[in-house]
Amino acid sequence: MQPLATGSSAYRRRVFANGALAGDGDQARRPLDPSFSAILSKNDPFLPVPMKRLFALAISLLALLSCRNDRTIPAASAETPIFIISIDTLRSDRLPMYGYSGVATPHLDSLRNDGILYEHAYAHTPLTLPSHASMFTGLLPAEHGVRDNIGFPLGEEMPTIAEVLRDRGYATGAAVSAWVLRKATGMDRGFEMYDDSVEVLSRQARMIGNIQRDGAATTKVATEWIVKQQKPVFFFLHLYDPHTPYAPPEPYLSRYTDRYDGEIAYTDSVVGEFLQSLKSAGLYDKSLIIFLSDHGEGLNDHGEEEHGMFLYREVIQVPLVVKMPGQKFAGEKVTAPVQLIDLVPTIVERTGIPFGVELPGRSLLSFLNDKSPERRLIYSETYYPRFHFGWADQHSLIDGEKHYIHSTKPELFDLAKDFRETTNILEQDRRTYFAMRTAIEPLIREAETPSAIDPEDAAKLAALGYLGSTVQTKPGEILPDPKDHLDTFRDVSVAYLHYRDKKYEEALKVIDRLLGQNPRILDLHDLKSKVLTRLGRPAEAIEAGKDGLRLSPQATHIAIGLANLMLDQRQFDDARQHAELALKADPGQAHDILARIFIEQKDLVRAEQEARLAIESDSDRIASLMTMARVEREQGKLEAALQRLDDALARKKADRDVAMLHFLRGDVLARIGRPEEAEREFLREIELFPEDPPAYKSLTLLLVVDGRVAEATELIRQLIK
């Protein structure tokens, strides 16, 4: 047989893409003779140069295809850097990687191309704190004990993956963007660095769910810490931007008519910057990166704009991508259902570091080669309706294509035929309904209202008349189904919108009407207290706050609000007692309030002690630095106080205004003898917070002393107006 020309079609037909050299008949698809490799490696002078190049190309192609077809999961390594990127409130079906075309996410798409996409991943609750607790403990909410965003800290007896990795040599760090994940919740356990610099920077009272910081600021903290580490890194980056209020920065605000999409596009850019920082540091390729969300968002698909009340697919299905070291399995997808408690087993499997306790989940990688996955029942719950409204808690079970929601009025959906869950097929498929109802019953475990109160706190609450005075719900009580109260739920949103828009009288009317119909709506008691405060009715505001605390004795955010109100009214003993209720749950704010109480009582020794404790509890709180400056001002240490305020000003983000900061700087500057600078600071405070009187009063005095009586008079008119 004559040799084939290297460029002929006959020759090309004899090279197959599966790593075999083809001939005629039974010679086809025969394994490549290793002698060809030997010939090339020896640079045989008798092999024509074009032939050598073609053989080299063929062998490279065969090696590449061999790698792509290699289904072997790499060996575990305790040197693998691990990054978890959690985007709060991100719906999976609002991402291009899940088929959505309304938003551009080039950076997330790139990560998806480098990783494994899980098409059906589910959270166990549509609430931030308990969902992240499940991520880091590998346990369901009933097992780790965190059932709501308030009143349920993670117990010290619960091991976390951060603790396990830290104890085996990892540098562990986290940066979070929401108040609900602050250190006091116990989520910081195991992290050597846990940055939760999220605080209220305005005297305008805010809802705890809206206390957040910009994702770019959180990412900056993360990047600066990561690049300094000399050990394998485990880092948790939490971004909160898709959460309400939807307010994307430019150019995303103008680019997207749907602000939720705009928030997602902005978050994509932030994630892109973070991933680029990992690439620049040489970490990206060798890292295990897990990208996900803690829950989705209702967007009014079932009458809920946000999340927490219901368990429909849009709030429990989450995006999930796992990027392996070396981009192993890049571009693959898993269709089997997975769940957030599978994260810990995945990290354990990848590092080879034992967790120490048996886990109910399984490694996400175990689904790659599982062509016939075993039946998995995925459980989710929310006690938000019960704790915040006195309505029935919700429980759900995913079983393949069926989704059962257990409530006072149960529902059953076929996800394969009815992705948006518009048709309840419970009556048409009674057999599935009975089977899933039976399966879910062992998973439903009663939650206290809220978590167990230790004896010390119980004594404090009882002394203040909060414990045992009102029970939000009784065990076994048949509660209203939230679906029957969508009008009420929407009216609650209206009340919040009125408050946000400073329509306080309108907000109060809605609140009083709703509480008259259902006095168990905890959040409305808190909102009523804030509204009455803004209306200048402090005594009524205090009573409204007390009503809320009676409903939920461990709602420490209400106790903090009451303590501040009582301090403003110079009810020092009551303020101190309410601040002490929050010492465990929110030590930074509690110690800060106690310091301010002692300042007013002229007990500067105890004021300084409490101010230092506030800074130690939360060194990044600007408010704590301001309180210490007040102590130093009263002690006559004016230069030290000014330096403290300058430090606070330096920490302030450009887009965040801090009430009283410029006023305090102006006051200290005036005492030092720098009136021109003091005047500028007072004017800046008035510009930022025109409804707050202190800066007006101090500037008026400054003007009178300087002989500028006409200007002082006009300033008083401005204050009255």
> What pLDDT digit, counting tens, does each position of 618-644 carry?
756 788 999 999 999 999 999 999 999
Kindly state the average pLDDT of the residues 211-239.
91
Three-class SS state of 372: coil
Which segment of 26-35, 121-130, 148-157, 442-451 scores lowest on mean pLDDT?
26-35
Kindly state the average pLDDT of the residues 283-295.
97
At residue 440, does pLDDT exceed 90? yes
- Indicate the Cα dihedral angle 488, 149, 549, 305, nearest 10°: -20
At residue 499, does pLDDT exceed 70? yes
Cα–Cα distance, 331 to 431 (Å, whole number): 39
What pLDDT is stored for residue 105 in this prediction? 98
Classify residue 255 as exposed, middle or buried by CB count within 10 Å of its CB (0-12, 13-18, 19+): middle
| pLDDT band for position 545 (cuts 50, 70, 90) | very high
At residue 35, does pLDDT exceed 80? no
Which distant-in-sequence residues (6+ apart) come within 8 Å of 488 by Cβ?
389, 514, 517, 518
Kindly state the average pLDDT of the residues 319-335.
96
Kindly state the average pLDDT of the residues 297-312.
94
At residue 564, does pLDDT exceed 70? yes
What pLDDT is stored for residue 28 in this prediction? 34
Classify residue 481 as exposed, middle or buried by CB count within 10 Å of its CB (0-12, 13-18, 19+): middle
At residue 119, does pLDDT exceed 50? yes
Which segment of 343-347, 368-372, 446-450, 539-543 scores lowest on mean pLDDT?
446-450
Which segment of 94-98, 384-388, 601-605 scores lowest on mean pLDDT?
384-388
What pLDDT is stored for residue 212 in this prediction? 63
pTM above 0.75, yes or no: yes
Kindly state the average pLDDT of the residues 198-212.
49
What's the chain's average pLDDT?
Answer: 85
At residue 161, does pLDDT exceed 70? yes
What pLDDT is stored for residue 462 in this prediction? 56
At residue 67, does pLDDT exceed 70? no
Which segment of 33-37, 59-63, 537-541, 650-654 scores lowest on mean pLDDT?
33-37
**The one-letter amino acid at 87:** I
At residue 29, does pLDDT exceed 50? no
Cα–Cα distance, 66 to 59 (Å, whole number): 10
Kindly state the average pLDDT of the residues 588-610.
95
Kindly state the average pLDDT of the residues 535-543.
95
Neighbours of 142 (CB within 10 A): 17
Which segment of 9-23, 505-519, 582-596 scores lowest on mean pLDDT?
9-23
Three-class SS state of 269: helix
Cα–Cα distance, 249 to 355 (Å, whole number): 41
What pLDDT is stored for residue 375 in this prediction? 76
At residue 308, does pLDDT exceed 50? yes
Higher-scoring residue by pLDDT: 319, 243: 319
Kindly state the average pLDDT of the residues 542-551.
92
| pLDDT band for position 324 (cuts 50, 70, 90) | very high
What pLDDT is stored for residue 209 in this prediction? 46
* Six-digit token string for 56: 């080299």
Measured between alpha carbons, how far is residue 362 from residues 85, 130, 240 in Å? Answer: 20, 20, 27
Which segment of 178-187, 226-235, 262-271 scores lowest on mean pLDDT?
178-187
What pLDDT is stored for residue 460 in this prediction? 53
Cα–Cα distance, 350 to 364 (Å, whole number): 10
pLDDT above 70 as % of the chain: 83
- Name the region of 675 (left: φ>0; alpha: ψ -120 to 50; beta: rest): alpha
pLDDT above 90 as % of the chain: 64
* Six-digit token string for 530: 């804030």
| pLDDT band for position 13 (cuts 50, 70, 90) | very low
What pLDDT is stored for residue 454 in this prediction? 54
At residue 416, does pLDDT exceed 60? yes
Strand 288-292 to 82-87 pairing = parallel
What pLDDT is stored for residue 654 in this prediction? 60
Which segment of 211-220, 277-286, 346-355, 628-637 scores lowest on mean pLDDT?
211-220
Higher-scoring residue by pLDDT: 28, 173: 173
Higher-scoring residue by pLDDT: 156, 318: 318
Which segment of 173-177, 288-292, 470-474, 567-571 scores lowest on mean pLDDT?
470-474
Cα–Cα distance, 537 to 565 (Å, whole number): 11
What pLDDT is stored for residue 66 in this prediction? 45
Three-class SS state of 247: coil
At residue 11, does pLDDT exceed 90? no
Which segment of 236-240, 242-246, 546-550 scores lowest on mean pLDDT?
242-246
